[in-house]
Structure 1
C-alpha cells in the first residue's frame, strides 16, 4: 500500500507542480547564496562566518529570501497538497469501500497514506540537501566539516517533521469533510490564519491588555516578552523558525530575551551541535506532538465514519 501511494504521488500532476515550485525556489536561493558567499565568509564581524555551508542556507542579498524561509512558507502547501484528498477522494470515487472489503484495517490505510507522502517529502528534501552540499563543494572547493553536515541533516529532519504536521492535518480534514475542495480550503484557511492573522490578533490583544512598556522596568518588560513569545509558539511556523534559526546559526544562544548578567557571563563562541539541539528540543517535540495529535484524531474520526454511503 505504501508503494502504491508513493507511485501515485510521483505520477500525479499536483506533486509535479509542487516539486517544480520547491526546486525552482531552491535553485534561486542557492544562486543568490553562492553569489554572495565570499562576502559573507569574509565578514569577520559575523560570528558564523566560518560556517560556509550553513551560510549557503541563510545568506541573502535581499533579492530572494533564504531557502529555510521559503520552506517555512511553501512547506505547508506541499503537505496540504499531498494530503487534502487522501480519504474523501477515495470515498467519492467508490474505491474506499472496495479497498476496505479486502483484509485491510483502517489504521493501516491511514498509515499508508501518511507514510507514502512522508517518504516522498523525505526523499525530496534529502536530495535537495545533498545537492546543496555537492554544489558548494564544486563551487568553493572547501570540504564540509562534520558539524556542518550534521546541522544540515538536523535541518532536513526538522523540515520533514514540520511538513509532516501539515500533511497530518490535511489528512484529518480529508476524513472530516466529504468534499476534497472543502478540506483543501479549510487547510489553506488554517495555514493563512497561523501565518498572517494570528500575529496581528496577538499584537492587538497585547496592546489592549498589557500596560505601556515605557512605564515598566527592564525585568517586567522581559516577563511580558516571554509571555508574548509563549503565545507565538502556538504557531507551527514559529516553532519551525526558532528551530531553523538555532540549527543554522550556531551563534544563537537563546530563543528568548537574555538578561545583562547572562550576556556578561556568556562565552563569545558558537555553540556546539549538542547545545543547539538542547535549545531546539522543545520546538521539535512540539511539532512532533502536534503531528501525532492530528493523526490520532484522524484515526478516531475515520474509525467512526460510515463508508458504505
Structure 2
C-alpha cells in the first residue's frame, strides 16, 4: 500500500513539474492572469471613485466579483483545456506509457498520479491569479475587507477551481478517447465553444422547435423553461448562478421568487443560507468533473496503450 502511494506521488510530482513549466501552459496562464489583473485594477478604480459602504445587493464589491466571475467563465475553460487536452494521447503517442509500465507501476497509479498532478497545477494557477487580482483591487480601492468577505473570497476560489476542473476533466476525457493531440484540442475547443459561447443560441433554437414557435415571436413561459433546462448542461451557468444568484425558479425546483439573496457576496445572508439556496448548482459543479474523471479513469484502465 505504501509503495502504491509513493508511485502515485512520484507520478503526480512529474506531471505537476511538466505542466507547470510547459511553455504552452505558461503562455496561456500568463494571458489569463493578465486579464484578471487588469480587471482587478479597473474594479479597484471604480470602487475607489464610488466610495461608501460596500455592503448590499448592488455594492461595488459584488459587482466586481460578478465581473471577475464572467471573465473566469469566458477564459478559464480555455486555460483548463490547454492543460489537459493532450494529457493521455501525448504520452501514448510518445511511447512513454509503455516504458513506464515496464517498471513496477500499475495503470491505476499512472492515471491517478497524472490527474492529481494536473489538478494541483490548475489549483495553483487559480489561487495565484485570483489572489493577485483581488489584492490589486483592494489595494487600488483602499477599502478594508472584513473577515467575512475574506471567507467568501476563499469560497469563490474553490468554486472557480471546480468550474475550471470541469473543463480540465472534459479535455482529459477527450484526450483518452482520441489518437492525435490535434484532434483532442479541436474537439475540446469545440465543446468549450458550444457550452460557453453558443449554448444560449442553441437552447433558444431548440426550445423554439420543441414549442413550435418562431424566433420572431415573444418567448412563451414554456419556451423559457425549456431554454433554461437545456442551458443547465453547462457548468458555466451553475458557476454564474452561485456567484450572482439564481433567476426566478431553479434547476430542480428548489428555488422560488421569494429568495432575496443575490449571490455569494450578498453579505446580508449567511453562507449557510447561500448553500441552502444554491445546493443544486453546487452539487452539479462537484458531480460534473467527478463523472468525467471517472470516465477517463475507467477508459484508460481498459485501453490498449500500444501504438
- Common fold by TM > 0.5: yes
CA-CA distance at 1:224 after TM superposition: 5.2
- The match for 1:154 is 155
CA contact (8 A) 2:43 2:137 kept: no
CA distance in structure 1 between the partners assigned to 2:258 and 2:151 by the alignment? 30
Unaligned runs of 5+ in 2: 1-10, 215-219, 251-255
* 1:74 pairs with 2:75: yes
- The match for 1:179 is 180
The alignment's TM-score, normalised by the length of structure 1, stands at 0.81
CA distance in structure 2 between the partners assigned to 1:148 and 1:15 by the alignment? 31
What are the superposed Cα offsets for residues 266-291 of structure 1, whole Å, 9 maximum, x if unpaired? 69983222212222321221122121
CA distance in structure 1 between the partners assigned to 2:208 and 2:138 by the alignment? 49
- The match for 1:281 is 279
CA distance in structure 2 between the partners assigned to 1:84 and 1:119 by the alignment? 16
CA distance in structure 1 between the partners assigned to 2:117 and 2:192 by the alignment? 22
Q: SS of 1:101's equivalent?
A: coil
- The match for 1:290 is 288
CA distance in structure 2 between the partners assigned to 1:57 and 1:237 by the alignment? 15
CA contact (8 A) 1:90 1:96 kept: yes
- The match for 1:233 is 232
CA contact (8 A) 1:53 1:133 kept: no
CA contact (8 A) 1:239 1:283 kept: yes
The count of aligned residue pairs is: 283
CA distance in structure 2 between the partners assigned to 1:73 and 1:157 by the alignment? 17
* 1:255 pairs with 2:253: no
CA distance in structure 2 between the partners assigned to 1:130 and 1:177 by the alignment? 36
CA distance in structure 1 between the partners assigned to 2:137 and 2:84 by the alignment? 34
Range 198-207 or range 172-181, more displaced: 198-207
CA-CA distance at 1:128 after TM superposition: 2.8
CA RMSD of aligned residues (A): 2.9
* Aligned CA distance change for structure 1 residues 141 and 298 (closer, same or farther; 3 Å): same
Range 117-126 or range 34-43, more displaced: 34-43
